[in-house]
Amino acid sequence: MSAICAIAWRETRGYFATPVGWLCLGSFVALTGLFFAMSTSEFAAMAVQVASNPFATNQVNLTEWLIHPFFGNTAVILLMLCPALTMRLFAEDRRNGAIELLLASPISSGQIVLGKYLGALGFVFAMLCTTLPLTGMLYWLGNPDTGVLLSCYLATFLLAGSFMAVGMLASAFTTSQVVALVASFGLLLALWVLSWANVIAGPGLGDFLSAVSMLSHVNQLNKGLLHLSDVVYFLSFMGLFVFATTQRVEAYRWR
Amino acid sequence: MISVTGLGKRYGVIRAIEDVNFTVNRGEVVGLLGPNGAGKTTTMRILAGCLGATAGKAQVEGLDVTAHPKEVKRRIGYLPESPPLYKSMIVWDYVAFAAAIKGVKDIHGATERALSQVGLLEDVGDRPAAERIIGNLSKGFQQRVGLAQALVHDPDVLVLDEPTSGLDPAQRKEIRVLLQRLAHESRRTIILSTHVLADVEDICSRVVVLDKGTVVAEDSITSLRRQGGRVRLVVAQPSSAAAEALRAVAGVRALERHEDGAYTLTVSQECRADLAAAAVPFGLLELGHQAESLEEIFLKMTGGEE
């Protein structure tokens, strides 16, 4: 356990020692701030418009008009930033030979992968924490549904965890960070929009694609509907990719 | 102690090593020699548990590398050819990290000891090297950091893959002195690969020579030297009969006759007594042995000199 923690701590700290980490963090803070400001001003304009209409007032609430768009946008930002965060996890270690330190240590491939994954998640967690002042501001502006907010945070964290797991696997397959970045971004985009394919696929295949797509599961969670099936979907997704990465790292010893 | 028996590794259809056998006794310092592609790194990576063998077995302190990887890794300190460094880290943090993943209990104490052993607690400029970022250090110091991570868990066995490669002569000397100290002070079992034969002569008591994936020699340097070399011989009556008699001695590979009646014979084994006996009928005046340099022995064994 201490070896996993040591690897995780080194990875999280490593992000703060590299320009990529700071660039991603800076971009995330700037973009979430921008989208939050845009959603807030849109919500304010809408509130003014419907103020005179008592029937429409109930339709305009913080959850529908601010929280959902904000977390939807945050998910898209993470979709773009997570591959940049994961590209170095294994590709860099293999390129500069640092992976030999891990492989020659008395730890299993699973511990190496888990340590790196938790370290990367630690940085994403820190990134998500930077949105707390924004969502905290909602309590000052109005009366947001805390349950929905918590559910949205859980959904976003699970989604980011899934993104990171895919990116880590891509990084384990190459020594080039650029290849890892492009591969993980392409794969994530495909998994993201899989549910759109049910328009062209038949009802059976369409339902299956919807079930596999990340978008449909994250939408449920973002509505504040905490279904066990959605949580299990994301946890299984992460588990599958972490397991695949472990197998890949184990294969380093045979190549 | 290291014991390698019938070790083989194939990368698909490419054979990296085949039927490699050698033993390194406890407290012994052995050099693994061979040209590029001879299989030195493959052998060392298998010993360090970074690579699986496709045949044979390797044992460290009586434990099989494949069957007991964690126990073996606790006993081995491995320095790959390119030191496995995180260059954005501070030296102390890096060595402490290595200690943590190697399961060391007293991380602070172990880090301090390892850094002290390789001289990284000394000042470089205005502050100790241990407080500097690894990437900002010279290659020689980075090599020391690599050695510190290999030593941090106080291993019984050190596996060092070309520890002096890429260093300038001064840095090479520093590392060589350091390795000599490590070898003599701690009585560790050390196996190191190198292209620099001066390193082998300085540090190692014995060599294992690999060529094209197989062991072509395993002996002490003194014994290897004794096996071959050149013999200068002067007789009172040089003649073609004398040359024939000398050439007929077992172990003589080549004979060169000089105008002053001297002969230079290239020999592949110790045969001075036989040569003296063969030369006496022609009036033996002088017989001297010139040992081959390690370079010559190395080239001869690895087919670099025909």
- Give yes or no for a contact between B60 and B157, defined as CB atoms under 8 angstroms apart: yes
Helix segments in B152-239, DSSP class H: 169-186, 197-203, 221-227
Eight-state DSSP code of residue A196: G
B77 confidence band (pLDDT: 50, 70, 90):
very high
B51 vs chain A: nearest CA distance in angstroms? Answer: 4
The Cα A62–Cα A77 span in angstroms is: 21
Contact A104 B78 (CB under 8 A): yes
Query: Does domain B229-290 match CATH 3.30.1490.20?
Result: no
For B197-235, write each residue's pLDDT tens digit: 777 888 888 889 888 889 988 888 777 776 667 888 888
Contact B103 A2 (CB under 8 A): yes
A125 vs chain B: nearest CA distance in angstroms? Answer: 22
Complex ipTM above 0.95? no
Give residue B4's pLDDT: 93
The Cα A150–Cα B68 span in angstroms is: 46
The pair of three-digit structure tokens given for residue B248, joined into one six-digit string: 């007929």
The pair of three-digit structure tokens given for residue A206, joined into one six-digit string: 């369409």
Q: Does B58 touch chain A (CB under 8 A)?
A: no
Beta-bridged to residue A235, according to DSSP, are: none
The Cα A78–Cα A153 span in angstroms is: 13
For B37-72, write each residue's pLDDT tens digit: 889 999 999 999 999 999 999 999 889 999 999 999
Q: Does B191 touch chain A (CB under 8 A)?
A: no
Q: What DSSP letter does each residue of B114-141 carry, written as one string?
A: HHHHTT-SSEETTEEGGGSBGGGS-HHH
The closest CB to that of B100, out of A3, A99, A252, belongs to A3
Q: What mean pLDDT, rounded, does chain B reach? A: 87
Give residue B227's pLDDT: 66
| Domain ranges (residues) in chain B | 2-86+149-220, 229-290
The Cα A83–Cα A63 span in angstroms is: 29
Give residue B306's pLDDT: 42
- As to burial, measured by CB atoms within 10 angstroms (0-12 exposed, 13-18 middle, 19+ buried), residue A140 is exposed
Q: Does A236 touch chain B (CB under 8 A)?
A: no
Give residue A194's pLDDT: 77
Mean pLDDT of B162-171: 82
Sheet holding B55-60, edge to edge: B14-24, B2-11, B55-60, B63-64
- In b/e form, how buried is each residue of B24-37, taking b as 16+ CB within 10 angstroms? beeebbbbbbbbee
Give residue A195's pLDDT: 67
Given a cut of 70, the residues of chain A with pLDDT beneath it are 1, 54-60, 195, 198-199, 224
CATH number of B2-86+149-220, picked from 3.40.250.10, 3.30.470.20, 1.10.10.60, 3.40.50.300: 3.40.50.300
For A82-141, write each residue's pLDDT tens digit: 999 999 999 999 999 999 999 999 999 999 999 999 999 999 999 999 999 998 988 887
Q: Does B49 touch chain A (CB under 8 A)?
A: yes
Contacts of B40 (CB under 8 A, 6+ apart): B32, B33, B34, B161, B193, B210
Alpha carbons within 13 angstroms on the beta-carbon side of residue B113 total 14
